[in-house]
Amino acid sequence: MGLREVARERLVAEMVESSVKDLPDNEWTLLVVDETTTKVLSSVCSVSHLVEKRVSLVENIQKKRQPLPNMTVIYFISPTQGSVSRLLADFQAKNPLYKRACVFFSSQLPKQELERIKQSPTLLSRLGALKELNLEFLAIDSRGFTTAGAREETLKDVFGEDANSSGSYEREMDLIVRRLASVFASLKEMPAIRFRMGKPPQEGDPVGASERQLISQRIAVALHAELTDMRQKMAADDSFPNTETCDLVIVDRGMDPVAPFMHEWTYECMCFDLLDDVIENNIFKYTIDTNKGSEEEREVVLGEQDPIWVELRHKHIAEASLLLNDKMNYFKSANKLAKHKANQGNQDDIDTGDLKQMVESLPQYREQLKRLSLHVHIATKLNTLAKQMGLHEIGKLEQDLVYGNATSKEVIKLLGARSHMKEEDKVRLLMTYVATHPEKLDNSRRMQWMKLAKLTAEDMNMINNLEYLGVAVSKRGAKSALSFASKRKKRSIRKEHGAFEGEEQWQLSRFQPIVYDIFQDMLKGELSQDEYPYVIQPSSGVVGKKTQMIDVELSVRKKKSTRRETTRGVEGRPVVLFIIGGMTRSELRVAHQLSSQFSSNLLIGATSIDSPVRFLRNVNSMSLLDEI
């Protein structure tokens, strides 16, 4: 069962079904939510899921609602002062809105708010349930989740220039811990928690660097305390394990600062990069030409409910395009009505427009063609944009920089030759350079880049802000002859990996984010305990063991043998990786692909999931613009 299904099952079984079980069969209920729980609910449930369980309406607690004094209502709200106040206002002594209330909080209810509820005799007399559901994360898909808050500014609040002096820091840290704990409450798993050990501060690091290096450790320690407390509270119903049943590794965005701005070439990654302006909350908005010659605006959710999306999302754009072409050809040949129409005329003249007319009266064919046409439209748009923007040349240089095959000379050459590059692509390329070539930027080169690439001071500030993620962007002062111990180690070149089992090594598919190596090392029991120590050493037998190696053959055009690895925790012991500072679609892809390759249950979460454009915006917010 995927993460989204787990969360949905909890909402349906523990909240909705438990609330309506004593109602007459013909009696319906309504669901009241707040801003936080609206996001949680919409990430895992559709309206149809709720209607099936006799929920007739979903209403916002912040808005004025019609009194229904003869109805039982379900509250799914966050345990904030504002939401509790609205709950109490609904049950004033003279005019209570509802007959009965079943109240479920998304996380632990503070004692002071519980006391306020106890002081409301009207509510207490009508209370059907009062429970901490501990479900406050947002499911992205079956293997991904976020703890995103309302502001989604974790980089600024936790890593930014003024993070430690702002009131947002502690609030954000508490929110991350609380929502991450709710993931394990839903999975009913107790994790053995590890974290990425911070490196010692270096001369020239920005103010607050030592505190930033401890963020993963702080979250790990606080989460362990939160889960221990949760386990004690849930001990009575024996629903939470007493010993470690899964593995969790907590890292921060500085673990791999390159991944968020690399141009990725798989279908899903390209969608959320190149089409970011027309995708909002996974909803893709597009326009089609109708048979009547007019334009029609449409919206579609890009998600796992679409089998074609699931099949295409992690494939290289070239492979996805070929597969779509094959699917469309098969549709033409397999559809009896299409065959009949084609036989009446020249089969070479048949196109998507003809097919749409043919199946107008047949819903089953219309829906199939609609999905195919959608993805053909998307793939065509992606290929066109990539060509117009010259992304193949940019992408090749990015990957050469990452793997040590290019220097600033190639960067300068490309920037000089391609003056029409989008400004954000220039910034992304330069970020790739500084993240892979530390301490190369001084004032002279900074001014050279600004002039050559026609960048603004704000653009350069964005690049400089990578310092807050641990990237040594600027040249440091001259080192003393006696300061050997403080010298930085030369950055190791990122490992190159071949194609996943059953896949081809397409052009520009060399890049893999660092989470690939972390997941692999975890599954093999080889993740360094010096670099990733435990908060508490786990119980005997929990630490990962070497995996059994099974010889298999990789079916690709370039045949090569490989060895498929299976872990002792096959679909039974999840491995969870959590990234403070946001994750990318490429990192989500890795969790899916390695889960399949290793036959294991891998989950990945973060404080947010960011498109490259959003990541740039978040990095830009980390400090005020300095004079350059």
Check residue 406 and give left, alpha or beta (phi > 0: left; psi -120 to 50: alpha).
beta
Token readout for 232 is 């004690």
Whether residue 567 contacts residue 595, with contact meaning beta carbons closer than 8 Å, is answered with no
Structure tokens of 252? Answer: 């921060």
Q: Closest by alpha carbon to 117, among 141, 146, 84? A: 84
Beta-carbon contacts of 483 under 8 Å, excluding residues fewer than 6 positions away, are none
Pairing of strands 55-60, 144-146: unpaired
3-class SS at 301? strand
How far, CA to CA in Å, does 434 sit from each of 189, 398, 561? 40, 11, 37
Mean pLDDT by 10 residues, the chain (628 residues): 92 95 92 96 92 95 94 97 97 91 96 96 96 95 88 86 84 95 94 94 87 95 95 78 94 96 96 94 87 83 94 96 91 64 54 56 71 94 96 96 93 91 95 93 88 92 94 73 41 67 73 95 94 89 40 30 37 85 97 93 96 95 73
Cβ partners under 8 Å of residue 345, min gap 6: none
Strand order in the sheet with 138-139: 138-139, 144-146, 602-606, 575-580, 246-252, 191-195
**359 contact partners, CB below 8 Å, separation of at least 6:** 335, 337, 338, 365, 366, 369
Strand, helix or coil at 233?
A: helix
* Coil, helix or strand at residue 281: coil
548-554 and 560-566 as β-strands: parallel, antiparallel, unpaired? antiparallel
d(CA 264, CA 252): 21
SS3 label, residue 55: strand
Q: 228-242 in b/e burial notation, b at 16+ Cβ within 10 A?
A: eebbeebeeeeebee
Q: Closest Cα to residue 174, out of 154, 200, 144?
A: 154
Query: What is the pLDDT, as a whole number, of residue 550?
Result: 29
Q: Are 154 and 581 in contact (CB under 8 A)?
A: yes
Residues 6+ apart with CB under 8 A from 95: 67
Angle in degrees, 0-180, between the axes of helices 457-464 and 612-620, rounded to the nearest 10: 90
**How far is the C-alpha of 61 from the C-alpha of 65, rounded, in Å?**
8
Residue 75 one-letter amino acid: Y
Q: What pLDDT, on a 0 to 100 scale, did the predictor assign at position 482?
A: 38
CA-CA-CA-CA dihedral for 484, 486, 490, 491, to nearest 10 = 170
User: In what helix (H) or strand (E) does residue 7 lie, and over which residues does it extend?
Assistant: helix 3-10
The pLDDT assigned to 151 comes to 64
**Cβ 579 vs Cβ 607: under 8 Å:** yes
Q: What is the spatial distance between Cα 227 and Cα 250, in angstroms, rounded to a whole number?
A: 15
CA 339 to CA 250: how far, in whole Å?
55
Say what the pLDDT of residue 563 is.
Answer: 37
Q: Residue 38 CB: number of other CB atoms within 10 A?
A: 15
3-class secondary structure, 50? helix
Q: Measured between alpha carbons, how far is 240 from 443 in angstroms, rounded to an integer? A: 56
CA atoms within 13 A on the CB side of 466: 29
pLDDT at 204: 84
Give the model's pLDDT for residue 483. Answer: 39
Give 259's contacts (C-beta < 8 A, 6+ positions apart): 513, 514, 515, 584, 586, 587
pTM of the complete model = 0.88
Q: Give yes or no for a contact between 535 and 195, defined as CB atoms under 8 angstroms apart.
A: yes
Nearest to 404 by CA among 488, 319, 484, 496: 496
The residue written with tokens 């500030």 in the block is 461
Sketch out the chain's domains with CATH numbers: 3-136 (3.40.50.2060), 137-199+209-256+511-623 (3.40.50.1910), 267-388 (3.90.830.10), 390-486 (1.25.40.60)
Extract long-range pairs of 153-157: CB within 8 Å, 24+ residues apart.
Answer: 153/618, 153/621, 154/580, 154/581, 154/582, 154/607, 154/608, 154/618, 155/253, 155/468, 155/581, 155/582, 155/618, 155/619, 155/621, 155/622, 156/618, 156/621, 156/622
Q: Could you give the CA distance from residue 333 to residue 275 in angstroms, rounded to a whole number?
A: 32
* Residue in 565, 468, 481 with CA at minimum distance from that of residue 525: 565
Residue 283 tokens read as 């909803």
What are the strands of the beta sheet with 283-289, ordered from one edge?
A: 279-280, 283-289, 295-301
Record the tokens describing residue 67, joined without a space. 């009194």
